[in-house]
Amino acid sequence: MISKGKWIAPPYTRCDGNNIRWVKLVKGKRRTAICQTFSPHAESHAQFIAEAGNVADETGLMPRELLELYIDLLDYCDDGSASFDDPEPGSVIDRAKQALTKAKG
35-44, pLDDT tens digit by residue? 888 877 888 8
Q: Which of the residues in the chain have pLDDT under 50?
A: none
**Could you say which DSSP state residue 14 is in?**
-
| Domain housing 88 | 60-105
Residues 81 and 33 in one domain: no
Task: Please say whether the beta carbons of 46 and 9 come within 8 A.
Answer: yes
How far is the C-alpha of 27 from the C-alpha of 78, rounded, in Å? 42
Residues 7 and 52 in one domain: yes
Residues 17 and 45 in one domain: yes
Residues 3 and 29 in one domain: yes
Last residue of a domain, one of 58, 74, 95: 58
Residues 80 and 50 in one domain: no
pTM: 0.73
pLDDT at 82: 67
pLDDT at 15: 56
Domain count, the chain: 2
Residues 30 and 14 in one domain: yes
Please state, in angstroms and as integers, the Cα–Cα distance from residue 45 to each residue in 36, 50, 63, 72, following that order.
Answer: 10, 9, 15, 28
